[in-house]
Structure 1
Amino acid sequence: MLSLLIVEDERWEREGLVDFLDWKSLGMEIIGTAFDGIDGYEKAIALRPDIIITDIRMPGMTGLEMAKRIREQLPDVRFVVLTGHGEFEYTREAISLHVDDYVLKPVEEKEIRRAMHRVSQECALLRSRREDNERLAEMLQFGARIAAEKRLSELLRDRVSKDLGENELLEGAEELRADAYEVIVIAPTESGIREEEVRRLIGRPCFIVGCEELPGGLAVVLPEHAPGTQSPEQTAKLLLKEWNHTMANVPAIGAGATASGLVALKDSYSQALNAAKYGLFYGHSGLIKAEAEEQAGLRFSEQAGNFLAAWQEMSRRIRLHLLALQEKEVHMQLEAMIKSIADAPGAYVAALLNALIIELSVLAEEQEGNKGSIEQLVAMHRLQDMHDYVKSYISDIMHLLEEKRNNKDKYIVDRVIRLIDERYGSGGLSLTMLAEEVFVSPNHLNTMFKKVTGRTVHQYLADIRMSKAEELLRTTKLKVSEIAGRIGVSNFSYFCSIFKQQFGMSPGEYQELMQRKRTEPRST
C-alpha cells in the first residue's frame, strides 16, 4: 500500500480530497494532511510518504518551494500538483522541478485517477529498486532505460521541452542512438500483449512504451543502425508469424513512415497509432500501413452519397420494425447497418450511430435517454463495441415501447407526474397543457389520473406546490411572495389561503416558527 500526504491550505478542498476517491482501491492510504507548505514540509519529513498531492499557492511556503525542500531530503517522493488555468508560470516551474504530474482545478475524477495511476506506477518501480539491492547495477541500468523510455513516451506525445537534445533523451540508452527511427504500434488484444515477449521476438535493441491513446497497446521504436536493418514491415511480419501459432486473435500492427532523428518521431508515431486504431476498429489483423485510413477516406468520399441514402432507408426500416415490436427484424436490420459501415470504412461512425439513437429514443418519448451517447461512442475503439452499445440501447427502447403498449394508462400517468415534477414552478402549467403533452383530452387525462393515483391532476399539482413551498419556508429566508412565484402561484392571497388550509397557519407564521426552532438552543 502506497502512503499519501495531502497538502492544501483551503480546509474544504483538503477535506474534499480525502473523500474524493476510494484511495484504498488505488493501492494508497492517506497517512496525513497538512494545512500549508510549512506544515506539509514538517509532516513529509516525519511521515516519509510515497506520494504528495499539493496545491501550488499557499501562505508561508508555496507548494513548489515545499517540493524543492522535500526533494533535497526525500528524493524518491512523488509529487502531484494542483494548479489553476491562470498559473502557467507556476506550472512551468513545476516541470523544471521534476514534479511528476499536475491536475487542473477544479479537479475531475478522471484526471486525478490518471495522475495517481501514473505516479503509483513510478512509486512501484522505485520501491522495487530499493528492495532488490543484490542486483543494484542491473537495476540502475534498467532504471535508466525506463527513464529513457519515459522521456521517449513524452516526446511521442509532444510533451517534452524543445530544448532537450538527443543526448538528454537517450541518457541511459545510448546503444539505441541512430540516424533514423521507425515506429510500429501494436493494437491491444483480449489476451493482452506482453512487452517482454515483444522484446524477445524482435531480438534487437528497441524502445517499447505503452500507448496512452490506445490502452493496452504498445509502441515500438526501432533504430536504423545500418543498411539492411530489419524494416518495420519485416518486424511486424516476424511478430505476426509467431502470434499466428499462439494467439486466437492476431492484433493489428500499424506502421509509420521513417523518422529522420528523434525530433521527427512524433509524426511517425501518430501515423502508426492511427493505422493501428483503424485496424482495431474495423476488426482487421496483421500489418496496417499509415496510408490505409487516408485511402479508405478517399474511397468513402466517392460513394458517400449512395451510402448515406442507403443508411437513411435502413434507419427508416429499423424505426418501423421497432414500432411494430419486431425484435428479430430490428436486430437483423441493425446487423445490416453495422455491416454497411464495415464495408465502407471512412464514415464518421459515432455520429451516425448517435443520430440513430436519438431517432429511436423519440419513439419511446425518452429524450433524456440519449444524453452522453456520443461521448461514449467516440471513446470506443472497436466497431463491435459500438454495435453492442447500440443493440443494448435498442433493446431498452423496445422494452419501454412494450411497457407503454401493455400498460398505456400507467405510462401516461407516470409521464404526467414527471412533467409536473419538472414544471411545477410554471404559472402556466394546467390540465389542458399536460393533456396536450401526452396527446389525450383533458377529461380523459383527469379520469385516468384519478384512477391510477386517487387524486385529480389539479389536486396532485396543488400538493406538489404546497410541499415545495413548505420546504422553501422551512429551509430558506426567501420572502413569502417570492416563494409563491417559485412554485408557480402568482396570486399571493390564493397561495396564503391554500397553504393555511393544508398546514393550519399562514406561510409567514410557518416560516417564523421554523426559523425560531432553528435558532433555539438544543437541550442537553
Structure 2
Amino acid sequence: MKYGMLIVDDEYLVRQGIRETIDWSTIGVEIVGEAVNGKQGLEAALRLKPDIIFTDIRMPVMDGLQMIEKLLEFDYDGAIIIYSGYQDFEYARKALEFGVVTYLLKPFNNDDLLEKVREALEKLAEKRQKSKIIGQFKRNLPLLKERLFQEMLTEPLTPSLLEELKAIELTPPEQGVIIRGEASDACAEELESALKAMVERILKLLKPYQTIQQVFDESFVIITACIDSEFLCTKIDQLLLMHQSNSNVKFSIQISSVYDNFLALKEAYEETQALSRNALFVAVNTVATSDLKIHPYKQLVKDVMKIISEEYHRKLTVREVAEKIYVSESHLMHEFKENVGKTFNECLTEYRIMKAKEFLLKGSYRVNEVAVMVGYQDVKYFGQVFKEMVGMTPSQFLAENNEKI
C-alpha cells in the first residue's frame, strides 16, 4: 500500500531536500504535493487527501498550527508531522494537544525524518484499523440490539446476556412492565413511520422512568420502570385517540403485569403475546392490560367478530350472522355469553362506538354522517348510545379531544 505525503514549507530548498534526498518508496510513501504556506497547504490537503502532512510551523499567510486547526474542522484523519527550531517548541506544544501530531526538532537528518514517518505511519494504521472496527460495530449495532433485545424477551436472562445488554446500553429495569404494540392495515413505509411516532410519544410519557425500547418490522416493545398500569392504560389510550385522527394505521397495544426480577421478563413478554392473541376487536385501536382474563376465544367467536368488523356499518342481526356461520341463533348467543361474557349485540354496539370515535376524530364527517357510517339511521338514538358508552355526547367528545390534539 502506498501512502501519499504533502510537504508544507515556505523554503524551496527545504522542500527539495525532503523530496529528493530520501528514497521514499522504501517505506511505501509517495510525495503527492507541495505548498509554500498554511493556506496553500490546507487547500492542497483538502484536494489531495494525503495520508501524511509534513509541515513547518513558521510560515507567512497562515502558519502550520492554524492550518492544522482548520484541517481538524474538516475531519482530516491522516498523520501530521510538524518541525521547528528549539525556540518554537513551546508554541509547537499546542499542536501536540490536538492528538494527531508528531513533533520533530530542527536540525534533523534523513534518518530522523524516516524514523518519524515510520512512527507516524504505524500510528495512522492503528488509528484507521480502530476506526474501521468502530465503523463496522456501529453499522452492525442496530442488528445486534434487535437480536439481544429479542433474546432477552424469549430466553432466560443469564448473567452473560445481561453483561452484553449493559455493553450496548440496553439494561432493563429490575422491576417494571412490558408495553408491546402491533401495527397493521398499512404499507411497510406507513407502518415504519407510525411505529416510530407511537414509540416516541410513549417514551415522552415515560421520560422520568428507566426505559428501553426496540422497534421491529410490525411491532415495538418498551420495557419501563413505570408500574402504574392505570396511568399507562389511560395515557396510551389518549395517544391512540390522537393517532387515529390523522392515520389509518391500527395499533393493538398490550401492557403486562408488573415483573419483579429479570428472570420474570420472559413471562411478562409471554403475557403480552397472550393478550394480543386474545384480542376480541380487530381493525380498531385497542389497549389491553393484564387485568383482562386471558383465555382463548372459540373459533365461532372469532368468526363472528370478523363479520362485525366488516359489516358493522349496516343493519346486522343475530339471525343473519348465525346463518353465515351455519349455527342456530340460540347456539351463537349461548357461545357468546359463555365465551365472551357479553351478548352479540353488546359486542356489535361496542365496536360501532369504537369506529364512531375514530371517524369523529378524522374531522371530515359531521355527527349525523358518522351515525350512518357505523350503522345507526336514527341520529338521536346514536347520540344516546354514544353517551351511555363514552360518558359524553359525540359533540362533547369531539370538542374535548380536539383540544388535546
Fold match (TM-score > 0.5): no
Larger radius of gyration: 2
Q: Which has the higher strand share?
A: 2
> What TM-score range do you get, normalising by the shorter chain?
0.3 to 0.5
Q: Which has the higher helix share?
A: 1
**TM-score using structure 2 length:** 0.35
Query: Bigger relative contact order, structure 1 or 2, given CA contacts below 8 A and separation 6+?
Result: 2
**TM-score using structure 1 length:** 0.28
